[in-house]
Amino acid sequence: MARRPDGAEVAAVVQRVFRGGLLGGKSAFQPEVAAWTDATASDLRARFVDRPDTSTDTFLVKLRRQLADAPDETIVLAAELLFVNMAPLVPEQIGLPKKLEILREVLSWAGRPLDVPPGLETALKGFLHGGQGFLNYRWAQFQILVLLVERLAGTPQPERKALLEDPWRFRDLCFAIQDSVGHKKGR
């Protein structure tokens, strides 16, 4: 039986994607892609947050419409935020094959071949059960992640680094963004 990674292993990989992206601007999936920039985060916000798709279609069908004709950088950022969102979830909630299927689907919308690097797949084995909200409110969690990244990417580098290194300030920023959307579905 394969060993499930503990929370520290998953957190280290998620930190590599999230923190590394915000501090270096580059994609963890495709390092030559500058996916974690203020301009890219703003483009993703304009496409996803500012243009909500209220149809009854699935999250991925809606996201595909919202990201139609998006630059590769925006698509890669969207995929990496979904990686951050899904990585902690146990296989009983959403298995590794399904997580990879979702990420590869999003990456397939880019104008060039992209994939999840094998070194990051370990984190997708998860360590916690996120409850039904993780599945039912993926759009709300994604919305908050997009707004959080946009805020951080638009913050001067020294302040951004300080926010990422201070868990209390980072928590306060997350709560402020959650409060700004007017619902608690993404928490």
Residue ranges making up the domain that contains 120 = 7-181
Residue 187 lies in a domain: no
Structure tokens at 180: 């700004």
Residues 80-130 have pLDDT tens digits of: 999 999 999 988 889 999 999 999 999 999 999 999 999 898 889 888 888
Question: Which of residues 75 and 122 earns the better pLDDT score?
Answer: 75
Residue 59 lies in a domain: yes
Residue 144 lies in a domain: yes
Q: How many domains does the chain have?
A: 1
Q: Is 0.75 topped by the overall pTM? A: yes
Long-range contacts of 8-17 (CB under 8 A, 24+ apart): 9/122, 9/123, 9/127, 10/87, 10/88, 10/123, 10/125, 10/126, 10/127, 12/123, 13/87, 13/120, 13/122, 13/123, 14/83, 14/84, 14/87, 14/88, 14/123, 16/120, 17/80, 17/83, 17/84, 17/120
